[in-house]
Amino acid sequence: MKFVFPFLILLMVLTACQPDKKKNTMNFLDESTPKNMVEGPDFSVPVYDFDEFETLLEQDDEYTYIINFWATWCAPCVTELPFFEKLGAAYPDEKIRVVLVNLDMAKMWDSHLVPFLEKRDLKSYVLVLDDPSQNSWIPKVDKDWSGAIPATLIYNKRQRKFYEKPFSFEELQTELNTFLNHRTHETSDHSTDTRRGTPGFGVQPGTPGNS
């Protein structure tokens, strides 16, 4: 016991001294602070720099996160967006969260992104990552990512995998299943939370399956 007490006190001091505990513990979709908003006619999309966005890559909860990096100018990205949109309906009993991370440049927000979102009426949570220092943040998403898109990160508390490639819906399901199979023996209050239409966040809710 002699050693335990000083150790505990040291641990408490160290913990208390951590300047900012929001990393890892912040619920990104509820608590993060966008640096800006892209305003559409009846929706708004939050804009993040990488420091704030990074917490989305470190969520420590029961959900499996499917984080897709895309842009309106990236044809294969636009092709695969409907597959990500379909996941919520395909896995109604699983705890999954789909986040579509848009990488359009700031000067394209009004001219390209807003019209695109208006037309597509995306159901998934959409945010913009706007951080020009790409060489420093790309490796923090995945050490092997060249920066080409489309690219997708799937992770939960147990596993994590990064894909620098376009998906078909079948491939996406196959990959996602490898994350969800671990869950089958667990008890949980099965519920899907796509967090659409959270006030001030993402695009507005709509009827599923019309995009």
Partner 1 sequence: MAFSPVPPGTAKGYTIGDVATDFELKNIDGNTVSLADYKEAKGFLVIFTCNTCPYSVAYEDRIIALDQKYKVLGVPVIAINPNNPKVQAGDSFEKMKQRAKEKNFTFPYLLDEGQKIFPQYGAQRTPHVFLLENQSKGYVVRYIGAIDDNYADADKVTEPFVENAVDAMLNGQEISVTNTRAIGCTIKT
150 binds partner 1 (CB under 8 A): yes
Stretch that binds partner 1, among 10-18, 81-89, 100-108, 115-123 (CB under 8 A): 100-108
Cα atoms in the 13 Å half-sphere on the side-chain side of 70: 27
Residue 18's identity, in one-letter code, is: Q
| Residue 63 per-residue DSSP state | P
73 binds partner 1 (CB under 8 A): yes
Residue 28's identity, in one-letter code, is: F
Q: Which of 75, 93, 178, 193 binds partner 1 (CB under 8 A)?
A: 75
197 binds partner 1 (CB under 8 A): no
Residue 200's identity, in one-letter code, is: G
Identify the three-state secondary structure at position 134: helix
Burial of 92 per CB tally in 10 Å (0-12, 13-18, 19+): exposed
Structure tokens at 115: 């019209």
CA nearest 99: which of 140, 135, 45?
A: 45
Stretch that binds partner 1, among 12-20, 74-82, 90-98, 190-198 (CB under 8 A): 74-82
174 binds partner 1 (CB under 8 A): no
Nearer to partner 1, 8 or 148 (CB): 148
What are φ and ψ of residue 91, in 5° steps?
A: -125, 65
Stretch that binds partner 1, among 42-50, 87-95, 130-138, 182-190 (CB under 8 A): 130-138
170 binds partner 1 (CB under 8 A): no
Residue 126's identity, in one-letter code, is: V
108 binds partner 1 (CB under 8 A): yes
145 binds partner 1 (CB under 8 A): yes
Stretch that binds partner 1, among 23-31, 69-77, 87-95, 117-125 (CB under 8 A): 69-77
54 binds partner 1 (CB under 8 A): no
79 binds partner 1 (CB under 8 A): yes
**CA dist 98 to 10, 18, 151, 168, Å?**
40, 31, 13, 16
Structure tokens at 132: 């020009």
171 binds partner 1 (CB under 8 A): no
Q: Which residues are at the interface with partner 1 (CB under 8 A)?
A: 71, 73-76, 79, 103, 105-106, 108, 132-136, 138-139, 144-151, 163-166
